[in-house]
């Protein structure tokens, strides 16, 4: 099966956590497995991580794990059963201390509690408030000490622990809760490849987590080589997206909360802009939320969902993500197969030549690695290369090639096993392991070509462009391009 370029992230959950199903999902094309810490505990996560690691070893396939940290979520409490709400009814929301709020019981179905402090200071009459991920829309009709009363604009049943959103508000709560810190420390202890951070507001949020991760890694004797994914899902995060992209190692376009925090018609525009900014910065971008949502219950997606996935791929997203579709859905394997088929169809039609011609000037210039990456892709097209081989210590040279979205596969040769699995996230990159024993460039190139031949990626007579740095094994030294033709005796 030809390798796809756009990667697939799948969320593990009750229906997909069995070892045999994880293996089946990898075979269908999953590159990254997501652990959702809004629901998973450490015991369950331990088992899932072990299952993924055993499956990727059996299949000899690079697969990353991403721990998705809950973040500063605002919820409603005080009731254990759904509350029926009718259009025009009133609901009072009262601020309470987050400690112990889950055990509180309201004395009235028209009164609930929230872990958002000082809700009265954030609202005024006429303020729009959204509940349950956008299902309920409402307006504030009364503001009192530590409470607001809202008028519900549509009927339905309010689920326990429903999300609360005040569009455009800057919530006065810490970026990390005690649970978030515990989940991050667990991720470091388990040497997880990616840590995704919810509701990132600015670069300072990323810096805070990076310091926490580095301290935890050093104290446990691990390398601090964890990649941080910033989830853009609020108006403030969107306004600071440039500084967030600079500080983070990757971006997730989290359209669910974004569509609640801002006018829904602006979400597709924000998505396109974030994807472009992300890949031009050589950072992987994940497009997420409700991509094939109907397949939670149905064996086929809607036409609109198929178009949604296809358009994200045409926009050059690095990865597309499945959430409930694989975590709790009836058809986890089929939904991955469907997503894979949409990706394959798009990649057959994608205009790689046009993309290369329209690369902005700032990507073609800059430092030596940036100049060399653009030149390497140009040379690959001119000589008809079947692949671009990147000899890299950190993966950055391969990421710079990846942002140019070349037609030919990017074969990233690495010696670090964790980086090998991390690179599974990057568009068009096929991570490959080599021994690292070669003392001279020719020895390393011969080993890489031999691996390509034995694995069937290249055949005798195929040309390949090789990009590397001299001296070997020195980080940040990418400074060389050469063309090789695979010999029959390689």
Number of helices (H) and strands (E) in the chain: give both, helices first: 18, 22
Q: How many other β-carbons are positioned within 10 Å of the β-carbon of residue 57?
A: 10
DSSP 119-150: HHHH--TT-EEEETTTTEEEEEEEEETTEEEE
Among 5, 7, 34, 201, the one annotated catalytic:
34
Q: How many other β-carbons are positioned within 10 Å of the β-carbon of residue 288?
A: 25
Nearest to 148 by CA among 195, 199, 113, 183: 113
How do beta strands 111-114 and 90-95 pair?
parallel
Q: What angle do CA 161, 164, 166 make, to 5 degrees?
A: 175
Among 4, 5, 75, 201, the one annotated catalytic:
75
For tokens 């009235």, the residue is 108
Identify the DSSP state of 5.
S
* Residue 75 annotated among the catalytic residues of the structure: yes
Taken in order 61, 312, 399, 479, the sign of the CA dihedral is positive
Nearest to 2 by CA among 465, 421, 387: 387
* Residue 365 annotated among the catalytic residues of the structure: no
Contact assessment for residue 320 and residue 254, using Cβ atoms and an 8 Å cutoff:
no
Distance of CA 178 to the CA centre of its chain: 23
Among 5, 231, 399, 405, the one annotated catalytic:
231
Q: How many whole angstroms separate alpha carbon 464 and alpha carbon 313? A: 26
- Token pair, residue 354, equals 């046009």
Judged by DSSP in three states, 467 sits in strand
* Residue 289 annotated among the catalytic residues of the structure: yes
* Residue 338 annotated among the catalytic residues of the structure: no
Give all strands of the β-sheet with 90-95 in edge-to-edge order.
Answer: 76-77, 111-114, 90-95, 147-152, 136-144, 128-131, 164-165
Nearest to 276 by CA among 185, 191, 379, 360: 360
Stated length of the chain: 490
Q: How many whole angstroms separate alpha carbon 47 and alpha carbon 410? A: 32
For tokens 């089946």, the residue is 24
Among 289, 338, 392, 464, the one annotated catalytic:
289
Would you please indicate which residues are annotated as catalytic (active-site) residues?
34, 75, 231, 289
């Amino acid at each position: 099966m030809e390798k796809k370029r756009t990667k697939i992230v799948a969320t593990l959950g009750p229906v997909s956590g069995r070892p045999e199903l994880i293996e089946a999902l990898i075979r269908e094309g999953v590159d990254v497995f997501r652990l959702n810490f809004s629901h998973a505990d450490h015991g369950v996560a331990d088992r899932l991580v072990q299952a993924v690691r055993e499956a990727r070893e059996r299949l000899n396939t690079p697969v990353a794990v991403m721990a998705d940290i809950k973040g500063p979520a605002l919820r409603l409490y005080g009731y254990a059963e759904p509350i029926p709400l009718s259009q025009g009814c009133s609901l009072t929301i009262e601020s309470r201390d987050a400690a112990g709020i889950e055990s509180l019981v309201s004395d009235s179905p028209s009164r609930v509690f929230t872990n958002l402090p000082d809700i009265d200071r954030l609202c005024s009459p006429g303020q729009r408030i959204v509940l349950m991920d956008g299902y309920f829309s409402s307006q504030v009709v009364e503001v009192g000490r530590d409470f607001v009363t809202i008028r519900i604009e549509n009927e339905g049943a309010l689920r326990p622990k429903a999300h609360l959103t005040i569009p455009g508000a800057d919530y006065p709560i810490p970026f990390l809760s005690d649970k978030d810190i515990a989940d991050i420390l667990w991720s470091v202890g388990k040497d997880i490849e990616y840590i995704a951070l919810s509701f990132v507001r600015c670069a300072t949020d990323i810096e805070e987590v990076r310091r926490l991760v580095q301290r935890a890694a050093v104290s446990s004797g691990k390398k601090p080589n964890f990649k941080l994914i910033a989830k853009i899902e609020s108006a403030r995060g969107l306004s600071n997206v440039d500084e967030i992209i600079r500080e983070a190692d990757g971006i997730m376009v989290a359209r669910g909360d974004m569509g609640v925090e801002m006018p829904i018609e602006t979400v597709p525009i924000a998505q396109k802009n974030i994807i472009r900014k992300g890949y031009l910065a050589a950072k992987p971008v994940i497009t997420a939320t409700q991509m094939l949502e109907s397949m939670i219950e149905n064996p086929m997606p809607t036409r609109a969902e198929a178009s949604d996935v296809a358009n994200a791929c045409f926009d050059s997203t690095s990865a597309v993500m499945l959430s409930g579709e694989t975590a709790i859905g009836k058809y986890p394997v089929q939904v991955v197969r469907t997503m894979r088929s949409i990706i394959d169809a798009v990649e057959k039609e994608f205009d790689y030549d046009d993309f290369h011609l329209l690369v902005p000037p700032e990507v073609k210039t800059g430092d030596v690695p940036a100049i060399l990456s653009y030149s390497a892709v140009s040379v690959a097209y001119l000589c008809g290369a079947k692949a671009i081989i990147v000899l890299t210590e950190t993966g950055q040279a391969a990421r710079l090639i990846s942002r140019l979205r070349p037609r030919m596969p990017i074969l990233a040769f690495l010696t670090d096993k964790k980086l090998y699995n991390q690179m599974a996230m990057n568009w068009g990159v096929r991570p490959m392991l080599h021994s690292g024993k070669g003392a001279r460039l020719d020895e390393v190139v011969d080993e890489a070509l031999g691996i390509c031949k034995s694995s069937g990626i290249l055949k005798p007579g195929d040309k390949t462009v090789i990009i590397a740095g001299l001296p070997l094994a020195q980080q940040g030294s990418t400074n060389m391009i050469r063309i090789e033709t695979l010999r029959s005796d390689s």
